[in-house]
Structure 1
Amino acid sequence: MSVTRRQVLWTGAVACVAGLRAVSAAEPIHRNGQSHLKLSLAAYSFHRHLPQNWPAGRKKTGTMTLLEFIDFCAEQNLDAAELTSYYFPAEVTPDFLRQIRERCFRLGLDISGTAIGNDFCKPAGEALDAEKALTRKWIDYAAELGAPVIRIFAGNVPKGDTEAAALDRCVAAIDEAVGYAATKGVVLALENHGGVTATPEQLLGIVKRVAPSPYFGVNFDSGNFRTADPYAALEMIAPYAMNAQVKVTVSPNGGKKEEADLTRIITMLRTAHYRGYVTLEYEEEQEPREAIPPLIKKLREIIAG
């Protein structure tokens, strides 16, 4: 397909979903019913064991396969697995996607979502175009897998650039990506992941600039704010959460890690009437096979309580 034809089809796809944009991501998300939480585990929790196939500069071999990670999730009696994109083969084939989907279904696991390492603040031109193409590719993969949501990043201000200019590019790129994601029935959730989303004000500033869409919202990450009071920051973004992940530590003011108050984190999600998956993303030094089972047990008890 020629670039010109691809651009025409892309523009048309975005235009076709304009009528779907009836829900504003700039407003807290309204959900019927009481808060309902289910447990998932992010493949990133096994980043030391899984082979990393992209980005190119971070490639490494592994001692665990993505299918074995799915088996581990089933052994923990989880509701779902989050299949982080880094651990898929460098060349993702339809056969591999079908194999993953079949394994999850056979084991009674949902695919709660996936995640990509995009940077929409990159300079306009080839660099930014590559980030957009990456995002569209993974939207297609998510749709094939039946993954309802993709965690996306905003990015970092390039050296010599201004935050205002970087944000303009970022917002425009998110708008494009959300338009395409809507045609595939995939939600994009913007994570508080440092850079231009380092504070709740920065994150929500971007969210409020993106064109309203039911296919866009916030990915609530309990461990990523490095503000003076991470819990207060999390309370600000919880009402906008389309997806949620928890970590077992927080770092006030970017300092030494402290044990996270998981009960407080779950309570704020309940208060925000969040319904959906709570995905554990384990990043600590202990062997994940040993550390994760008691953490899952603890989260289950908190959610049940």
Structure 2
Amino acid sequence: MTINRRRFLANSTRLAALGLAAPFMGFVGRSHSAGSESFFKISLAQWSLHRQLRSGTLKVLDFPVKTRKVFGIGAVEYVNQFFKDQAKDLKFLTAMRARAEDHNVRSLLIMVDGEGDLGDPDKGKRKQAIENHYKWIEAAKHLDCHSVRVNAAGQGSREEVAKASVEGLRALSEFAQDFNINVIVENHGGYSSNGEWLSQVLHRVDMPNCGSLPDFGNFGDYDRYLGVQQLMPFAQGISAKSFEFDSAGSEINTDFARMLRIIRDAGYRGYVGIEFEGPGDEDHGIMATKRLLEHLGRKMEVST
């Protein structure tokens, strides 16, 4: 999957108008097959079922099975905290990969949290955080994922954390290159929830296997539509955050149609991951998000 050159240049012009440096042309994940109904495919983030996983109602190894059988979705995004002590357990990882492959489910990425701040201004702490992520790079390779999702976080001034994040992300991406794994950053609190800040960090890293995972939420007071637009030139995945729906089936916090137009116009042709975080039944929330994405995807494909 590559960004159309004309659209990429248009994005670069828009970013320049916003005072951002032109972004690099990075690898953006795996392409979807021609002739599909929409310009994107749908995946499911494991976090969408976090209550079921934490309660034990759903076992980790059964996540890809349920994804296929209950939701009819063919790709998954794992979250490391649900198997945080098994990153090096090859028997467990082999079983996880087999479950996915046996049900024709593609493993896309692992969302990694709790391993230290890659943007810590303290060089020693940052080095430890980088090394803590190594095992997840290796686990992602074993699972046949294309990426790990990490956080650009740290304590300090805006520029101090930016400088440290650039160094931390570059070092981890250099390690990940040998495994053909991408390091992608989500807008996930702190400075990273500012689309301008994060896009500048990724531009400064300037590595083809280091990109973004724009999330529809997690922007705080920052304009979420502007933030996604700023991160799209680096996007190697998309997280469609959902909470609640109105009687017509629209998500009440985010204009999904507007978001998908931004994504489509950026030339993105990969997976859009469902990440339901709302109250109530998780299965219902996932299906509501899926129906909305499918409806809008078909509608936009017809209108282009």
Bucket of the pairwise TM-score, normalised by the shorter protein:
0.7 to 0.9
Unaligned runs of 5+ in 2: 1-20, 245-250, 300-304
- More moved, 231-240 vs 267-276: 231-240
Is the contact made by 1:80 and 1:111 (CA closer than 8 Å) also made in structure 2?
yes
Q: State how far apart, in whole Å, the 2-side matches of 1:89 and 1:95 are.
A: 15
Provide runs of 4+ in structure 1 moved above 3 Å: 28-36
Gaps of 5+ in 1: 1-23, 52-60, 251-256
Please state how far the C-alpha of 1:30 moved relative to its aligned partner.
7.9
Q: In structure 1, what is the equivalent of residue 148 of structure 2?
A: 150
Mean alpha-carbon deviation: is it higher for 174-183 or for 41-50? 41-50
1:25–1:37 Cα change, 3 Å: farther
Q: Look up the match of 2:40.
A: 37
Match status 1:204 vs 2:199: yes
Distance 2:243 2:196 in 1: 22
Q: Where does 1:252-271 land on structure 2 (aligned, <5 Å)?
A: 258-271=252-265
Number of residues of Structure 1 aligned to a counterpart in Structure 2 = 263
Structure 1 letter corresponding to 2:129 = E
Question: Are the structure 2 counterparts of residues 25 and 132 from structure 1 closer, same or farther at C-alpha, using a change threshold of 3 Å?
Answer: farther
1:175-209: CA deviation from partner (whole Å, max 9, x where unpaired): 11000111100011111112121211111111121
* Root-mean-square deviation over aligned CA pairs: 2.6
Pick aligned residue for 1:104 from 92, 100, 104: 100
* Residues 83, 115 of structure 1: 8 Å contact kept: yes
Q: Is the 8 A contact 2:27 2:208 kept in 1?
A: no
Q: Assess, with a 3 A threshold, how the Cα gap between structure 1 residues 220 and 228 changes in structure 2: closer, same or farther.
A: closer
Confirm or deny: 8 A CA contact 2:67 2:76 kept in the other structure. yes
Alpha carbons of 1:50 and 1:130: their partners in 2 closer, same or farther (altered >3 Å)? farther
How far off is 1:149 after superposition? 1.1
Deviates more, 1:215-224 or 1:124-133: 124-133
Structure 2: which amino acid aligns with 1:226?
Answer: G
1:39–1:280 contact (8 Å) kept in structure 2: yes
- Aligned-pair identity in percent equals 25
Tell me how far apart the structure 2 counterparts of residues 47 and 175 of structure 1 sit (CA, whole Å). Answer: 31
Structure 1 CA distance, aligned partners of 2:86 and 2:65? 22
Residue aligned with 2:207, SS: coil
- In the other structure, the counterpart of 1:131 is 129
Change (3 A) 1:156 1:125: closer
Is the aligned partner of 1:83 residue 2:78?
Answer: yes
Distance in structure 1 (CA, Å) of the matches to 2:191 and 2:100: 35
Structure 2 CA distance for partners of 1:197 and 1:143, relative to 1, 3 Å? same
Q: Tell me which amino acid in the other structure corresponds to 1:139.
A: I
Partners of 2:84 and 2:22 in 1: how far apart?
33
C-alpha distance in 2, partners of 1:149/1:272?
20
> In structure 1, which of residues 5, 8, 27 is the aligned counterpart of residue 24 of structure 2?
27
Q: Distance in 2 between matches of 1:179 and 1:30?
A: 15
1:106-134 CA-to-partner distances (Å, cap 9, x unmatched) read 10100021111152123525532331122
Q: Deviations over 1:202-240 (max 9, x none)?
A: 111111211x22211111111121235321222222232
2:66 to 65, 68, 72: 72
Residue 167 of structure 1, CA deviation: 2.4
The CA distance in 1 between the partners of 2:86 and 2:124, in whole Å, is 21
Question: Which among 48, 56, 59 is matched to residue 62 of structure 1?
Answer: 56
Which residue does 1:11 correspond to in 2? none
TM-score by length of 1: 0.79
Query: What amino acid sits opposite 1:189 in the alignment?
Result: I
Determine helix, strand or coil for the equivalent of 2:189.
coil
In structure 2, what is the Cα distance between the partners aligned to 1:173 and 1:164?
Answer: 14
Aligned-pair CA distance for 1:27? 2.4
Residue pair 1:25, 1:214 contacting (<8 A) in 2 also: no
Match of 1:50 in 2: 53
Deviates more, 1:258-267 or 1:268-277: 258-267
The alpha carbon displacement at 1:74 in A equals 0.5
CA distance, structure 2, for counterparts of residue 74 and residue 249 of structure 1: 22
CA contact (8 A) 1:25 1:207 kept: no
- Whether 1:194 and 2:192 are equivalent positions in the alignment is no
Deviations 1:131-185 (A, max 9, x none): 112211100100111000111110132xxx4333232222111111000111100
- Within the candidate set 271, 285, 300, 1:291 is matched to 285
How far off its partner does 1:304 sit? 2.1
Query: Per-residue CA shift, 1:68-94, capped at 9, x if unaligned?
Result: 221221021112011111111513310
Cα distance in structure 1, aligned partners of 2:177 and 2:202: 16
Is the CA contact 2:41–2:271 (under 8 Å) kept in the aligned structure 1?
A: yes
